[in-house]
Amino acid sequence: MTIKMKHSGTAVSEAFIKPCPFCNSTELLISDKEQYEELCAEHGSSLVSIECKGCDTEMRLYRVPENNYWLGIGLLIGKWNRRRAYEDSSRD
């Protein structure tokens, strides 16, 4: 599945990301790289996020190691892919 950057619409096809665990939408957006780098330059750091356009669920990573955008996106996608919908959480 291809994921797009939120503002620029740039497709990131190399990333493996599962559909939204709540609504099963595949319309997911990630933080835009250019905007992330601008915020880091202005404030010293920033966050990255994944957003589902189907149900507005959003997951954020506030501490991006070394302000490395791609590392942060990789870590966040890993968290997104491991989480489950609330209904499934009772199966632990």
Is residue 34 included in any domain, yes or no?
A: yes
Number of domains forming the structure of the chain: 1
Structure confidence at residue 89 as a pLDDT band (50, 70, 90): very low
Query: Vertex 43, ends 42 and 49: CA angle to 5°?
Result: 105
Closest to 30 in 3D by CA, of 66, 68, 80, 65: 80
Query: Tokens 């490395």, residue?
Result: 68
Dihedral sign (CA 41, 63, 16, 3): negative
What is the domain extent for residue 49?
3-86
Is residue 14 included in any domain, yes or no?
A: yes
**The pair of three-digit structure tokens given for residue 51, joined into one six-digit string:** 């957003």
Is residue 91 included in any domain, yes or no?
A: no
Is residue 57 included in any domain, yes or no?
A: yes
Contacts of 79 (CB under 8 A, 6+ apart): 59, 61
Q: What is the pTM of this model?
A: 0.82
**pLDDT tens track for 41-52:** 999 999 999 999
Is residue 92 included in any domain, yes or no?
A: no
